[in-house]
Structure 1
Amino acid sequence: MGKIKDGKKKGREGGGEGKTGQAMQFNHALGQHILKNPLIVQALVDKSALRNTDTVLEIGPGTGNMTVKMLDKVKRVIACELDPRMVAELQKRVQGSHYQSKLQILVGDVIKTELPFFDVCVANVPYQISSPLVFKLLLHRPFFRCAVLMFQREFAQRLVAQPGDKLYCRLSINTQLLARVDHLMKVGKNNFRPPPKVESSVVRIEPRNPPPPINFKEWDGLTRICFVRKNKTLSAGFNTTGVLLLMEKNYKVQKSVQGEEVPQDFNIKALVDEVLQSSGFKEKRARTMDIDDFMKLLHAFNSAGIHFV
């Protein structure tokens, strides 16, 4: 799902230009760099279009530059932070102020944390959790209004890529199935201290509500197979031994659940070929297919008794 290579981790909003930022050693393994440009912090807040009735989820608040700006505008901020030193700085920053009662801090890894209700998510995301975080948010219930998130530039470009684009991949189509994604702005590496190795971008993610009437696990199983070789024809991709064995196993499990017997002469390869041929997708390539194409393909497989969970 568009894995980020080691070392390509982006800035976390830290202590700005004040004493805290200079005194504290930031943990690069957690993706911590200081976002030194207050205009970028303000732009993230502005583009979130916050309302005074909102509960905001902030992931990786650092020492709280953005947190404080949001506390001024909203009903409540829930900040999720992994580094206990940052938690201490954040608590110290609001202690004794009128912000204290509006701030709730969740200490821990956001990917492993059960998230409460929120209206808007605003985050300067550590690169290594980019993909799991996107899908954790999109599968979160109840629905939130939108998320404004800063990612590594290439990851952001994958999120918004369209069929035929060089960066179009499984991440693109899986995200766009569940949400509308817009690229908002680019953020250069020199806005951080020390500068990270990569450029950043801010995207806005708005969940589709209601969501498409589709089993996402099954959809994800299909796109996983198709995008392993996105430039090859679907016929070539589905005719590898590993894929055929997996699909045969799924087929037999499904028939067993339904109380039906599988004929002794059953041939999964022949059935897959028949589905691809009759649906018109045999010579198609995943890199050029849109959401409607994949929905039609999934329906064709399901109608033939083939599932992907």
Structure 2
Amino acid sequence: MSVKHERTKIEKHHGFEMNKELGQHILRNPLVIKSIIEKSQIKPTDIVLEIGPGTGNLTVKLLEKAKKVIAIEKDPRMIVELQKRLQGNQLAEKLEIIQANILKQDLPYFDICVANIPYNISSPIVFKLLSHKPIFRSAVLMFQREFALRLIARPGDKLFCRLSVNTQLLAKVDHLIKIGRNNFKPPPKVDSSVVSIKPRNPQPEVNFLEWDGLVRLCFNRKNKALSSIFKTKSVVKMVETNYKTYCALNNIEIEEKDFDMKKKIIDVLKSIEFDTKRASKMDIDDFLL
């Protein structure tokens, strides 16, 4: 089948207006879809999770490779289009459709996730996937390009941020493909990128809420020295409150009569030579220390 014929086949399913609030942009280029499938390395025994299948351009190709595809779609119009497309096709037997808001839906078991993610909920989807148990093998996801570049950014990069650190704590993230906006219908205002996210197994033994609180604090002024950030009145007060709560819960007596949390914080930072470090240049091991 020629690419031109395949493109026409794909576009005939677009008989209604896309919902901008749901971030609906249908990937229509069959060569890009083929590349995503190849990069996903789907096994015949795999259960694949697809988020927002739309009219099924990617779904059909996933069904050809996988044991089963579980597609979670919020828009009932898209579900109807997908069902029409697969009517009378044996591949339909391998497809399970769940009509739901992905952020409110408990995820089923899956081996790999492949999806064109709605740009407006990219971050919560990433961390919903990474909190899922049991740990899946990998996710191949399409995002707005700048968001994707933030996911893969390294210390010292301009886009290195809290998102970079939190994602890379939990997973190995790699850039796979850059995709121009004209490969979609309707075209979004920005280009896209496909990334591979492979959860670390086992996951690091950290309290993620506490970890995120620390990282958030450091990246509020990521180019400032840590000593400058941690000696501000608001931060000192917060740390002191948390420290005293921790001591009370663990029956630890605060022995110092003239307890000075600001001095204690600076002394700790200096003892590990972190007082002059900046979050923008710190790697995961630095934060873990």
Quick check: 52-61 or 260-269, which moved more?
A: 260-269
1:16 deviates by 6.9
The separation in 2 between residues aligned to 1:249 and 1:84, in whole angstroms, is 49
1:94 deviates by 2.3
Matched, 1:267 2:245: no
Matched, 1:196 2:196: no
CA spacing shift, 1:16–1:282, aligned 2, 3 Å: farther
The separation in 2 between residues aligned to 1:64 and 1:114, in whole angstroms, is 22
Aligned to 2:4: none
Aligned to 1:123: 115
**Structure 1: runs of 5+ lacking an equivalent:** 1-14, 297-309
2:24 to 27, 32, 42: 32
1:291 to 277, 284, 289: 284
* 1:17-28 equivalence runs, <5 A: 17-21=10-14, 23-28=15-20
* 1:156-235 equivalence runs, <5 A: 156-235=148-227
1:73 deviates by 1.2
1:17 deviates by 4.3
Matched, 1:88 2:77: no
Q: What amino acid does structure 2 have at the position aligned with 1:55?
A: I
The separation in 1 between residues aligned to 2:11 and 2:153, in whole angstroms, is 38
1:112 deviates by 1.5
The secondary structure found in structure 2 opposite 1:105 is strand
Preserved CA contact (<8 Å) 1:146 1:204: yes
- Please give the TM-score of this superposition, normalised by the length of structure 1: 0.87
Identity %: 59
The secondary structure found in structure 1 opposite 2:172 is strand
1:138 to 130, 136, 161: 130
Q: What amino acid does structure 2 have at the position aligned with 1:275?
A: V
1:192 deviates by 1.3
Please give the root-mean-square deviation of Cα atoms over the aligned residues, in Å: 1.6
The separation in 2 between residues aligned to 1:254 and 1:239, in whole angstroms, is 20
The separation in 2 between residues aligned to 1:212 and 1:36, in whole angstroms, is 39
Preserved CA contact (<8 Å) 2:27 2:57: no
**Structure 2: runs of 5+ lacking an equivalent:** 1-7
Aligned to 1:303: none
The separation in 1 between residues aligned to 2:236 and 2:83, in whole angstroms, is 55
Preserved CA contact (<8 Å) 2:219 2:279: yes
Q: Deviations over 1:138-170 (max 9, x none)?
A: 121101111000111111111111111111111
